[in-house]
Chain A
Amino acid sequence: MSGTGTHQLSISINGRHENFDVEPRSTLAELLREQAGLTGTKIGCEQGSCGACTILFDGEQVRSCLMFAVQAADSEVWTIEGLASPPPENQTSPTPLAGLPELAEAFKRNHALQCGFCTPGMLIAGTLIGEACGGAINEERVKEGLSGNICRCTGYQGIVQSVVEVFELKTSNPAGEKPQ
């Protein structure tokens, strides 16, 4: 399509500033997946109901299918690619959600993923809940916090268990040392 009607915007994605030309009706999920090539953010419904497209947007959990790309101008966005992998050398700002890689390890231990389609959203939502709960984490709070994320495969048990396990450990032992 012609450039008329597209908007230019700049977004910081996974710690790097990038410029995009976007159609007014493009969603942020489309921008991330199609223009930025970050396909780790999944589309399960485009209706705001499944949580597969969850990203970190200016520090908050956001469903990227519900947000227009133009609304993301000058924001700071983190996707699973940036959050789960060790930072590249040229990354300018520190990676948020420091607990996420550890939660990913717990997912693996607890068989908290099968097809993995819900997993990026679950990891981001799960880490935010874990961090928000602080010392007061328990299964009920995690289940409630994950009530916007659908998993069709696992039955959730391993997911909930992983969040509780990782963030219980973190708060009881902030230095992250393994208990004896």
Chain B
Amino acid sequence: MTGSNETFKEVLRFEDDALLNGSRRFIDDLEPRGTLHIAMARSPVAHARLASIDIAKSSSMPGVHTVLTGEDISRHSTPTPIGWEHIADQRRTESLAMATSTVRYVGHIVAAVVAETRAIAEDAVDAIEIDYDLLPAVMDVDAARETNAPILHSSWPDNVLATDQQTSGDGRSALKSAHTIVDLELDIGRAFGCPLETRGVIADWGLQNQAGSQRSGSVGRLIVDLNSQSPNRVREVLSQVLGVSVSDLLVRVPAIGGGFGAKANYYGEEIITCIASKVCGRPVKYIEDRSESFVATSHARDAKMSVSIGADGDGSIVAFRSDVVGTLGGEVSSVGMGPIWVSTRAGTGSYQIPNADITTTGVMTNRTPFGSFRGWGSPIANFAIERAIDALADRLSIDPIDLRLKNMVRPEQMPFQNGLGWRLDSGDYPEALRRTLKSVTQAGWFDEVTDATSNGRFVGIGLVNFIEATGVGNSRKMGRLPMEQGGFDEAVVRMDSTGTVQVFTGQTGMGQGIETTLAQVCATALGANVNDVRVVFGDTDSCPYTGYGTGGCRTAPVAASSVMLASQDLQGQVLEMAASLLNLDEAELTISNSAVSGPTGEKVTFADIGTAAYRKLNRLPDHHSPTLQARYVWDPVDRTIGYGSIAVMVEVCADTGLVSVLRYHAVDDCGYVINPAIVDGQVMGGFVQVLGSTLMEELRYDEDGNPLTTTFRDYLVPLAGDVPEMTVEHMETLPPDVPSGSKGVGEAGTMAAMSAIAQAVEHALPGGYGWIRSIPLSPELLLHHIDAATP
């Protein structure tokens, strides 16, 4: 679809002006008249039976409207469904949004107070008296799988949510006959999306608005404003658990202060806030505070992996095995163990490995529920394969880059079935690696390392590959799994009587610039000036249905495709009317910059056409029907796989063991780049987030299950001084089955960061490759390594 859209490539973001002057509204900036505030009472212990809850004192405090306990929640709602319940025999918890008899993590909601102000609600939370009968906390997956381990969910025989296995070729038996086998035990710490804006929801379930809902006997229409990446998914879940028809629910999304997957999950607070509004008959607002966010927003990553790789003596990889055990929390989040399961599909990365065997297991522990974080499980899968290759290179004394080039999927093999269920659809993987190497060589990185090393500094370079699965579909294939979720995306494009165009999308903006990129796509396909296009999202009444929401990098491959196809349809309607207005044949017309021209300078603008279509129908012959609107539903054929290579330069401080990343370069192929600045921003921002979880961020617990990281002083996210100089280069291979020509890119930056930094640290220090096995990197470990390796 390249061509005239080049005109708009460099357009600046339409989102920015209102954000720069502080006028754009986020969830906490909204408050309908009469709003009450809700505060959650959360368990201070990791595992216990709720012996008693006494709300008498709390309920009688001035300004308190109601105190809800698990009993109220069970009266008003049914158990929360799990969106990613896609593995055969995946177990169910049947848990409600609030604990009823057992608490399973610190932060588990046990009651909620609705009051005039948030301060009163918080005071009243402190006045609730709760007795807990403590149970032993199960904090790690090994303890959770011991034969006599306490069982978190009493109806289960053990603590395992599900296990999934995928094999190709002869699976792990092929390892035995390999010339060289390397085994690694890997451990990835717990981190989370941690958007700067916490979660929030306002529920207004009054007697307003809807005659229809009165007829069905409910108390009225439920209007929910919240900062979710997936408004339609929230709407369906609320419909299901609250017993309201989907049409009696309006979900709206204001500006969102970052999502990163954390806001793609749905949460109990949303259900509880709706019930609170129903009980009180007033709008109720919940805003998570920062400390709560560390125990209440989905955690992620946290996995142990046992990995083996086998190769011939010349370095041809013949087999790969990975047993991945994910440390889930005390309850199951909306994505189940999806992020862990991804390893079964993504396990072999950018490489052609004839025999593979990957098992993933999700194990419950008394930690915060485990959910989505940008990249899902793919950065973990990347770490396993890239680490294994580094260790293999070390064993075989082959350069890690040569070993990679030897085993990567080659362009002539595309589309390539990876044997684990994923089709790598397009691209030139080795070229991305060669380009990365060339670019950093030309930029003098290796000379810099030589200089630094001769001055006694520990500086090194890491260079690794990644794939990124984007735009999940197809809806029928997904429907065959035991989950109720499609992957299609609907778009509506409408031109008004002034010739201005509105694009209605089911996607959600949360910083990634969809109001700009989707306008670019529409303008190009329609022939409009991009400044005449507005993108509307985040209102389930006016915007189309996109069940999956904004996650898994869907906007560029899926939503942009539906917008493009709808815009082309609208263009046909516009040309037809223009032909009538100009008395010319359609074939003679050209359309661009919001106007249609004939061969000898005849011209009508979109405004002229809009006027005729809505207000002066007499200008058009009878066969034209009024209005200008098109709708398209695009259902992806399959995932489309982005890929690339990245290089980082790091320095290890010999005195402290601390690692600084000095430089970052990426060669990324996400197909057609709609807006280079936005794409680069996604790549760099994603990289910096995982730089954080590689070097400084970790959600830690003590052995009793008390969280040790509940402020930004314990959970250290990257600051301006922690980030390197970053550059991004593009290849643009158009995927074969994607109308927009683009692959997703929002998660690309996260994929290879852990692997690249680990390799670079090993390059900086003596001792070869492949010995770093755990993330975040521990300065103590590095100091110890330096001590042991230097005489």
Name A's B-contacting residues (CB within 8 A): 1, 23, 25, 33, 38-47, 49-50, 52, 79-81, 84-85, 104, 107-109, 111, 113-120, 123, 142-144, 146-147, 149-160
Contact = CB atoms under 8 A, between A and B. Distances in A.
Interface in B676-697: 677-678, 680-681, 684-685, 687-689
Contacts of A147: 719-721
Contact of B684 (A80, A149, A154): A154
B721 A144 contact: yes
Nearest to A160: B720
Nearest to A122: B720
Given A50-B712, A117-B197, A155 B684 contact: yes
B445 interface: no
A152 B697 CA distance: 13
B19 interface: yes
B712 A47 contact: yes
Interface string B689-723: 10000000000000000000001110001111101
Contact of B712 (A40, A107, A150, A160): A150
B256 A115 contact: yes
B255 interface: yes
B772 to A, nearest CB: 23
Given A81-B21, A157-B684, 17 more contacts: A39-B29, A44-B290, A45-B290, A47-B291, A47-B711, A80-B21, A84-B20, A107-B20, A113-B20, A114-B258, A117-B195, A117-B258, A143-B719, A153-B511, A154-B681, A155-B685, A158-B681
B13 A108 contact: yes
A151 B196 contact: yes
Contacts of A146: 719-720
Given A47-B711, A113-B16, A152-B196, A40 B23 contact: yes
Nearest to B16: A108
B289 A111 contact: no
Given A49-B712, A80-B22, A154 B685 contact: yes
> Which range contains the number of B residues in contact with the other chain?
35 or more
Contacts of B19: 113, 115-116, 119
Contacts of A144: 721
Contacts of A143: 719-721
Given A39-B29, A142-B720, A44 B511 contact: no
A158 B728 CA distance: 13
A68 to B, nearest CB: 13
Nearest to B510: A115
A45 B194 contact: no
Contacts of A149: 719-720
Contacts of B720: 142-143, 146-147, 149, 151, 156, 159-160
B723 A156 contact: yes
B26 A42 contact: yes
Interface string B1-40: 0000000000011011101111111101100000000000
A114 B712 contact: no
Contact of A152 (B12, B62, B260): B260
Contacts of A118: 196
B510 to A, nearest CB: 6
Given A42-B197, A147-B721, A150-B196, A111 B677 contact: yes
Interface of B: 12-13, 15-17, 19-26, 28-29, 62-63, 116-117, 119-120, 194-198, 255-258, 260, 289-291, 510-513, 677-678, 680-681, 684-685, 687-689, 711-713, 717-721, 723, 725-726
B679 to A, nearest CB: 10
A144 B720 CA distance: 7
A45 B293 CA distance: 10
Contacts of A23: 119
16 contacts: A39-B26, A43-B28, A44-B196, A47-B290, A108-B17, A111-B677, A114-B681, A115-B256, A116-B255, A117-B195, A119-B19, A143-B721, A152-B194, A154-B688, A155-B685, A155-B726
A84 B755 CA distance: 42
Q: Which 8 residue pairs are nearest across A and B when measured between Cβ atoms?
A: A40-B22, A116-B19, A115-B511, A117-B257, A114-B511, A155-B688, A49-B712, A80-B22
Contacts of B16: 107-108, 113, 116
Contact of B255 (A45, A50, A80, A115): A115
Nearest to B675: A111
Contacts of A160: 720
Contacts of B678: 111
Contacts of B512: 114
Given A153-B258, A153-B511, A155-B687, A117 B21 contact: no
